[in-house]
Chains A and B, each alone.
Chain A
Amino acid sequence: MSKKMTNKKSTRPTDKKPSRPTARIPRLYERFHWAQRVAHALLLVSFTTLGLTGLPQKYAITGWAQAMIKLFGGIETTRLIHHVAAGILMLLAIYHTLDIGYKIFVRRSRMSMLPGLLDVKDGIQAFVYNLGLGKRRPQMGRYTFEEKMEYWALVWGTVIMGITGFMMWNPLATVRLLPGEIIPASKAAHGGEALLAVLAIIVWHMYGVHLRRFNKSMWTGKLTEAEMLHEHPLELADIKAGITVRTLDPKTLRKRQTIYYPVGSVLAIAMLLGVYGFVSGEKTAITTVPPISSPVAVYVPQTPTPTPTLPPTPATGAAVLTWDGSLGPLFQAKCGACHGTSVKLAQLSFATYADAIKGGQDGPVILPGDPAGSLLIQKQQAGGHPGQFTVEELELVSQWITAGAQE
């Protein structure tokens, strides 16, 4: 993370007594005010949290990402942590903006963090020197070109992440003004920018202030004279020349403050409201499981009760009762197994109309017009015959006989 949250130029030598030179105690120069150091610590925490909870979301299909998300307590919790860290970053950005405003408009400090052509020259000179083609390293002031690069990368990144984050957090509000495609586009940019930021921190920041030489000033707030001479020789020269501290008469200071404080307060409230709207302005989706479209009842049986075997064929109820029309098939079905072509129990067969009328070993079983006298009806009415007619079927046969037992 950038160790320079501000372009504050109000560094003062800490030793207030230059009249007592002590060779033993190294002279210390304040580099970062405590408020800047606290802001950096908060930024460190929020950025790291955002990276740790964000990148697994970008690479969610990979095993490592899923392990991390599980570690955080699942994707919902991961997102919540990410959102809280984003909120902290937004508050830091507001604080930083107001702080810069104070330094520019009230204290009228030199804007030492502004990049310029000189920084490009410094960068080229440093690189040329590293390649062994230059005579010396560039001499730099309060903020080296490396530090400025990092600061402005952070500003750029935070703005991009804030805008794209807003769009993803508030997609309904966003697409009222912009095309819907902006949502997946902002997701793409958010992920790309995140990767860029994390890699830049690992490569640029880690090397610049941890590996090359461990620079503790963001924690102690101080640099020694040797360190100043080494890294910020021009600033050291300015300090020695006494041109860094810009004294301000109390009257002017108070006058500017009376303007800045109300303006700053209004700005602060506006920005805080903006953050509030950002994080809570939109209820994007329902919180319940979406309803099934055109739902139907699950259990709608086709028959009242599922039938275990083949359904019965409906009983015949033809108007004109004839052997060929309805009785023949009935006799064949009910009686055919025993009184058929191949098996003729009691020499009786119902295979054909003629067979049926002919009867068996006891003579005719069907007497046309006389159901009561027909042996068939007598046997069946007694009940328990293996090929037993149902009551309805027997009634049908009786009617057929009554009607003359026609073919």
Chain B
Amino acid sequence: MPDVQRFLTDRFGDAVTRTVFRDNVRYVVPAHRLIEVMTLLKTEAGFDYLAEIAGVDYLHYPNATDRYGVIYGLANTETAERVFVKVLVNDPDPRVPTVYPLWKGADWMEREVFDMFGVVFDGHPDLRRILMPEEFTAYPLRKDYPLRGRGERHNFAPVNRAES
């Protein structure tokens, strides 16, 4: 684990901040340096497996400074170490560069974060909605989206007996 720390501080200095919570190592990275950090973690520090991508909306969260977070869970398949890389972005234009060139598996995970939170992944080859219907316009996991929606679920024409 000190190796990773040394790699990152040598290369990025103060741009990457490290925190530890119950043995989980987290690195907060600015969005414009994400690709550099991820490339280094993959090629030199051995974190070759992208386990997950999560989105977070920090609206109403105590002491939060930024609105959205995109969190990458990486694993080292040799040593079973894990790190979490966080990118914080804000309205009105939440953008994060895609990690699809590094891990092909990021394709659908980034599409899901885009679908639920509206975070745009620059350079993604096919950034479409993955779970919600194509014509859906909102981002339902944002905290300011009402639980019952804005009437999308009942926006269909009924079929009655005589015409069916």
Co-complex (A, B):
no
Q: Mark A residues whose CB is within 8 Å of B.
A: none
